[in-house]
Amino acid sequence: MNTWQNDNEDDGSVTGINVTPLVDTALSLLLVFMIVTPIIMNQAVKVKLPKMANAEAVQPTTVSVMLQKTGDIMLNGKPVTHAELRTKLAELVALARERAEDPAKPKIQAIIAADEEVAHGSVMHIVDIVKEMGVTEFAFNIKRVEKVPSP
């Protein structure tokens, strides 16, 4: 008598193995490894790049202009004065014009970040300098909040 396959009685015994949790776990692990492996590999691979005397320096097409509450200006993480900001932005725009398909429309943009305690006029002065130097595309770097706090 076979106790596993009795059609007359339904005693609730398991006649097969449910592999759904096993498949779910395996696919979840696969997904985790697919996400984590490139991150680990990028950090682990050390490449010593060759040096060339006539190599052209690649300038970023996006520049970062930061205005601190002390009034200091940072361009791509380096402190600059107003005059240096104008000069360096002009250099970056000229370089972008050389590389652009249409020199009239250089592909350069600025991200402007200012401390919340900086006066509005100071921020507008930086915007004027950025526009004056030929950067037509710019954005303000802000911190997103769920609810605007009351003043």
pLDDT digits (tens, 9 = 90+) for 83-110: 999 999 988 888 888 877 777 777 888 8
Domain ranges of the chain: 62-140
Got the DSSP string for 34-95? HHHHHHHHHHH--------TTPPPPPPSEEEEEE-TTS-EEETTEEE-HHHHHHHHHHHHHH
Within 8 A by CB and 6+ apart from 8, the residues are none
**How far apart are the C-alpha atoms of 46 and 107, rounded to whole Å?**
31
What's residue 60's pLDDT? Answer: 46
How far is the C-alpha of 124 from the C-alpha of 139, rounded, in Å? Answer: 12
Model pTM score: 0.53
- Tell me how far apart the alpha carbons of residues 82 and 86 are, in angstroms, rounded to a whole number: 6
- In tens, the pLDDT along 16-72 reads 888 999 999 999 999 999 988 877 766 655 666 667 666 554 444 788 888 888 888
pLDDT for position 16: 82
Identify the weakest region by mean pLDDT among 12-16, 91-95, 128-132.
Answer: 12-16
| pLDDT of amino acid 58 | 45
Which two tokens mark 70? 């002390």
For the chain, state the CA radius of gyration.
Answer: 30
What is the second-level CATH architecture of the domain 62-140? 2-Layer Sandwich (3.30)
SS3 135: coil
Return the pLDDT at 13: 73
User: Per-residue pLDDT for 124 more than 70?
Assistant: yes
Q: How many CA atoms lie within 13 A of 66 on its CB side?
A: 12
How far apart (Å, rounded) are the C-alpha atoms in residues 118 and 7? 81
**Least confident piece of the model among 33-47, 79-93, 108-122, 124-138:** 33-47
**pLDDT at residue number 69:** 86
Q: Which helix (H) or strand (E) holds 27?
A: helix 20-44
pLDDT at position 88: 92
Kindly state the helix (H) or strand (E) to which residue 137 belongs, with its residue range.
strand 137-140
pLDDT at residue 134, as a whole number: 84
